[in-house]
């Protein structure tokens, strides 16, 4: 089932506020409202904790290899004339 995205809805229900960037008019920063920030933290804290626990199981060399792996095929393909 497709989910309709309502770009202005989070702002209408006061979960975020928009602020235009002073250096670039097309840049818009979204800032959480205080209540929304607390809700987001409580919702995503378990994900952050699980990610950190999984990350701690791997040494620096393993993490480095895992980060390089997704881009390695593109690098190899770029060498083909």
The yes-or-no verdict on residue 3 having pLDDT over 50 is no
Q: In whole angstroms, how far apart are CA 28 and each of 8, 32, 43?
A: 13, 13, 25
What mean pLDDT comes out for the span 5-22? 71
Has residue 41 got a pLDDT over 60? yes
Overall average pLDDT of the 37-65 stretch? 94
Name which of 4-8, 43-47, 48-52, 75-79 the model is least confident about.
4-8
Q: Which two tokens stand for residue 16?
A: 């975020």
Res. 81: pLDDT tops 80: yes
């Amino acid at each position: 089932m497709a989910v309709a995205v309502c770009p202005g809805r989070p702002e209408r229900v006061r979960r975020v506020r928009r602020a235009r960037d002073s250096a670039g008019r097309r840049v818009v920063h979204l800032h959480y409202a205080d209540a929304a920030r607390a809700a987001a933290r409580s919702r995503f804290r378990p994900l952050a904790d699980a990610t950190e626990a999984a990350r701690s199981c791997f040494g620096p060399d393993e993490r480095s290899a895992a980060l390089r792996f997704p881009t390695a095929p593109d690098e190899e393909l770029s060498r083909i004339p």
